[in-house]
A and B are shown apart, each in its own frame.
Chain A
Amino acid sequence: MKKAIAAVVALSLTAVMAGCGKDVSLESEGKNGKGYPDELSIWCTVNTNLTAGGAKDLNDNLFFQYMEEQTGTHVNWTHPSASSAEQNFNLMIASGVFSDMIVSDWSSKYQKEDMDALILPLGDLIEDNMPNLTKYLKENPDMKKQFVADSGEVFYIPIIREDKELCVYLGPQIRKDWLDKLGLEIPRTTDELYNVLKAFKTRNPNGGDGKDIKPMTGTGFAKNAAFDIGNLLWPFGAHYDFYLDGGEVKYGIMEPEFEEGLKYIRKLYAENLIDPDFLLNDRTKIEARVINNQVGFISGYQPTALQTSMDDGVRAVVGIPHLSGPNGGRKCFYKNYEEMVLNKISIAVSTACKDSGGALKWLDKIFGEPGLTYANWGREGVSYEVVDGKPRWTDYVMKNSEGRTPKVMRTISTLSGVETFPTIVQFEPYVQQLGSWGREAIPVWTDTADTSGIYPPAVSFTEQEAADIADVMSTVTTYMQESVTKIILGTEGIESLAAVRERIRGLGIDRIIKIYDDAYARYQKR
C-alpha cells in the first residue's frame, strides 16, 4: 500500500517537474547581436497542406528557414490542428502558460477582460520596433482602419491582402460546354438564368436520359454563403443577412425586395430547376454533382479544384458575371469580397513574452523587402525564378517531381501559402498557381460585382452588444431559415412572409439593427 502511494506521488512529482522544465525553456533571456531574441515560442494552427508537403513544423518552411538565417532567432512552434485549435487554445489559457506570440481570431469571441490579461496593446511597440509595417500602414490607412479597435488601439496584426482580386475567390459559375452544346449564351440576368436552367432540365445536355439532371444546386438557405441557394436573392437587391443600403443597415427578410427574390427562388424550385436535396448538401456533395455531370450552375469557390478533377479538354466550368435583376442592379453580398484584412488570422504578443520589442522586430522582417518577396515567393532559384524581370514559379512548385500539388508546395515554400500566419499577401504568386478556369473567373467576378451593400466584416461589437446579438439572433436565424425554407419548398405560401416578419420583429430585430448601425458608425469614425 505504502509503495503504491509512493509510486503515485513520484509519478505526479515527475509531471509537475516536467511542467517546470517547460516554463524555463520559455524564457528567452538576452538577445543576439542584432536585437532579435534568441528564441521565440509561437502558437499557430496549420492546415494539412503543411504535413502533406512533408514538413514537421513551420521551421521546415523555406521562409522561416530564411528568417532564422537572417535573425538568428529560433522559433519553437506549437501547432494544434485546425480541428482541435479552439480546445487547445482554451487549454493554454486555462493553464496560464502562454506562448510568446499567438496567432488566433482576436477580433471576436473573447471577452475584453480576458484579452487584457492575455495580450499586450501594440500601439507604441509597433511605432518603435516595426518601421516596415509602420510605413506600410501610413501609406495604406484603409488597411489599418480594418484592424484597429474602435478606441484606436491596436492589439493584433492580421493577414493583409494587397489586391482586391485576392478577395474574389468565389462567385457564380456554369458549365460552358453545356451552354455551347445547346447553343445558349452565358446568362446575365435572372430571366436569362431561368431560361438556361429550363434548357438544362429539358434538353439533357449530359447525353443521359435527363432524369438525373439538377440544373442548379447549393446549400440550405442562409447556411453557407459560398454555396447558398439564397444568393439568388442578390440580383433583386435582397439578402438573407444584415447589409447596407445607402449607408443604412437593413436586415434582409424585413425588406420588400426580399419577397420578389424569394418568389423567384420558389419558382425555380417548383419547376424542378433546383436540386430537391439542396438541404442535405455540403461542399463535397455539390462538387461531386458538378463533376458527375448532374449540375450545370452553382455558386462556389473558384473552380481550380474542379478543373483538377474534371478537365478533359471538353468539359469546362466558367465563372459568369454576377447576375442583374429586374431593376438592373448587380448586388453581391459575399463578405469575402470586402475582406482585405483577415482579422480571423491575426498575431498578438502575449503578456508572457519577455522581449516584446525584439519579437515585433523579428516579425517586422515580414513586412519589408527583401522579406516580403521571400514571404510571397520563397527562395529564388528554388521555388521561383526571375524571367524578364518578373518572378515566376519554378517546376519545383508547379510540377513537383514527388507529385505534390502547387498549393502544397506553396505552403511549404512561402509564408503567404501557409495561410494561417499574418503577412501581406500578393496577387501575382497566388494567381500564377491557379488553374486556367479559376484564373479567368476572377476578373469576370471582380468587374461585375456591386459590393456597395456589404456590411464591412471588420466592424467590431462591444461585449454587451455581442451578447445581445447572440441572444436574439440565435433564435431569429433559426426561425428565419426554417420559415423561408418552408416557403421555398412550397409547404407554406408566400403570404406567410408577413407573419414571419411580425414574429421576427417581436423577437427584437429592431434593437439588433440599431446595434449594427451604431457599430458601423463607430467603424466609420476610426
Chain B
Amino acid sequence: MAEITARKAVKAPLQSHVRWRDIYEARHLYILLLPTVLGYLIFNYAPMCGLVIAFQKFSLIKGVFGSQFVGLDNFVKFLTAPNFWQVFQNTLSINLMSLVFGFPAPIIFALLLNEVRNTSFKKAVQTITYMPHFISTVVICSMILTFVSSDGLINTLRGIFGGKEISFMSHPQYFQPIYIISGIWQGLGWSSIIYIAALSGVDQQLYEAAKIDGAGRWKQLWNVTLPGIMPTIMILLIMNIGHLMSMGYEKVLLLYNSAIYSKADVISTFVYRRGLLNAEYSFSAAVGLFNSVINFTLLMIANFISKKTTENALW
C-alpha cells in the first residue's frame, strides 16, 4: 500500500517531465505549428470580442468599448420585424433545397466518373465541370439573368418546341429552382474533387474479392464503393449542415428583384438593405450572431446523430 503511494508520488513528476522533454524534442514541429495557431488567435478568435456590438448602440467614434449598452434590443428588433418570418422561411427553404439536391449531385457525378475507363475523356469532363467554379459570381449571375430573360437561351429553346415566352425572373415560383440549379452547375465539378480523391483511396482488393463472390457493378457500388467513401460523405454533410443558415448574399442580391421578394428575400439580403445601406452595424452584428448560434446548434446535432448512427464525426 505504502509502496503504491510512493510509486504514484514518483510517477507524477516523472510524467510531466517527460512531456516537456517531448515538446522540446519536437520543438521544430511546434514552431512550424505556431504561425497557424497565432493566425487563428489573432484573426479568428480576437475579433470575436467585437461581437459585443450586437448588444450595443454602436458608434464608430466611441468604439467597441465606449458605445451604449442596449441589451437584447437589436435581437428584438430583428425578430419582431414584419418580414422576419418571410426571410427566415426563404433562407431555410433555399438552403434545405440546396442541401437536398445539391449535396448528392457531386457524389453521383464522382461515382459516374469513376466508372469511366477512357482517361482522356474523364480528364476533359473534369476540366469542363470545374470551369464555372472559377468564374466570378457577378459574371455567373449576369449570365443566368441573360439565359432566363424573355429573349434569352431558355425561352428560345422553349420557343422551338412551341412553348410560350416566360419572363422567369418576374415570377416568384421560378426563383428558387433557378438559384439551386445554377448553384449545382456552378459547384458540381469542384465539389466532386474530394469524392474522386476518396474513391481512388478505396482498396482495389475489396473489388476483386467482391467480384470473386459474384457481385455485379451495382453490388460493388453498394457494398464496396459507398462504404469506402462514407466517412468523407458524412464529414462533408455535417459541415454543410453547419452552414445551413448562412448563405452568401451576393448571388441572391445579384439575381433578385422586387417582383419576387416573396420567395427570394433572405436574411442576408434583408440585413444588407437594413444594416449596411443604413449603416446599422449593431443590427447586422446581432443578426450575424443569431445565425451563428443556429448554425452551431445544427452542427452539434448533426455531429451527434452521425456519431451515434455511422460512427463518423468531426470530433
Contact = CB atoms under 8 A, between A and B. Distances in A.
Interface stretch (B127-135, B227-235, B274-282): B274-282
A489 B61 contact: no
A481 B258 contact: yes
A172 to B, nearest CB: 22
Contact of B151 (A212, A279, A470, A474): A212
Per DSSP, are chain B's interface residues mostly helix, strand or loop, or mixed? loop
Interface string A63-93: 0000000000000000000000010001001
Interface in B20-35: 27, 31, 34
A485 B258 contact: yes
20 contacts: A1-B27, A90-B60, A109-B279, A114-B59, A221-B258, A276-B167, A277-B150, A277-B151, A277-B169, A280-B145, A280-B149, A280-B169, A280-B257, A470-B278, A474-B273, A478-B258, A478-B261, A478-B273, A485-B170, A485-B257
A478 B265 contact: yes
Given A221-B258, A280-B149, 14 more contacts: A90-B60, A110-B279, A212-B151, A220-B257, A276-B167, A277-B169, A279-B169, A279-B170, A470-B278, A471-B77, A474-B273, A474-B274, A478-B273, A485-B257
Nearest to B57: A111
> Which are the 7 A-B pairs with shortest beta-carbon distances?
A481-B258, A279-B257, A485-B259, A276-B150, A117-B61, A482-B261, A93-B60
A482 B262 contact: yes
A113 B59 contact: yes
A94 B281 CA distance: 13
Contacts of A4: 31, 34
A118 interface: yes
A491 interface: yes
Interface residues of B, number: 32
Contacts of A198: none
Contacts of B27: 1
A475 interface: yes
A489 B81 CA distance: 27
A264 to B, nearest CB: 19
Contacts of B297: none
Interface in A265-315: 276-277, 279-280
Interface in A1-16: 1, 4
Contacts of B34: 4
Nearest to A221: B258
B259 A220 contact: yes
A280 B256 CA distance: 8
Nearest to B273: A474
A109 B171 CA distance: 35
B63 interface: yes
A93 B62 CA distance: 10
A196 B135 CA distance: 43
Contacts of B258: 220-223, 279, 478, 481-482, 485
Nearest to A116: B61
A198 to B, nearest CB: 19
A474 B27 CA distance: 57
B61 A475 contact: no
B150 A474 contact: no
Interface in A196-213: 212
A136 interface: no
B63 to A, nearest CB: 7
A154 interface: no
A474 B170 contact: no
A111 B59 contact: yes
Contacts of B149: 277, 280
Interface in B26-58: 27, 31, 34
Interface string B227-248: 0000000000000000000000
A482 B59 contact: no
A146 B14 CA distance: 81
A113 B57 CA distance: 12
A489 B259 contact: yes
